[in-house]
Amino acid sequence: MSYDSQNSALLTAVNAASTRWKMAFNAGDAAGCTAQYEATATMEATPFGKFIGHEKIQGFWQKLIDDGFSDVEYLEPKIEIIDETSAVLSAKWKMNKAYGVIHRELWVLQTDGTAKLREDRFEAQG
């Protein structure tokens, strides 16, 4: 596979996984959000704290959904390819009751061709 086609496959996988995450969140599906993370992923959500692994990450998203947060939208997303199997997404974000910045979503290509989040660092600013 050429470098360009590897990059294309990686970008396609990252965009598809990111879309699945946003659709799950907007549907109130915390388990669907969590399915987009690797089992041992790390999520740092400023000012809420650090969450490691599916159980803790799902608990965070479930509480947010239960508290009425929805309609997440990414603004000005940028994807930087790190190597043949990983890329970093950054963006501004907004939803019905908050807004902020995604500092680093590290997406890693899995053996099945999908991408999963290994690291997620974002900040709620208001």
Q: Going residue by residue through the chain, which has 126 residues, state the pLDDT in tens, using 9 for 90 and above.
A: 555 666 888 999 999 999 999 999 999 999 999 999 999 999 999 999 999 999 999 999 999 999 999 999 999 999 999 999 999 999 999 999 999 999 999 999 999 999 999 999 999 999
Q: Using CA atoms, how far apart are residues 52 and 39, in angstroms rounded to an integer?
A: 9
**pTM as predicted:** 0.93
The confidence score (pLDDT) of residue 125 equals 96
Q: List, in order of start, the domains of the chain with CATH numbers.
A: 3-124 (3.10.450.50)
Q: Using CA atoms, how far apart are residues 85 and 90, in angstroms rounded to an integer?
A: 17
The confidence score (pLDDT) of residue 3 equals 53
Cα angle: 31, vertex 34, 37; to 5 degrees:
155
The confidence score (pLDDT) of residue 106 equals 98
The confidence score (pLDDT) of residue 7 equals 85
Under 8 Å between Cβ of 93 and 71: no
The confidence score (pLDDT) of residue 37 equals 98
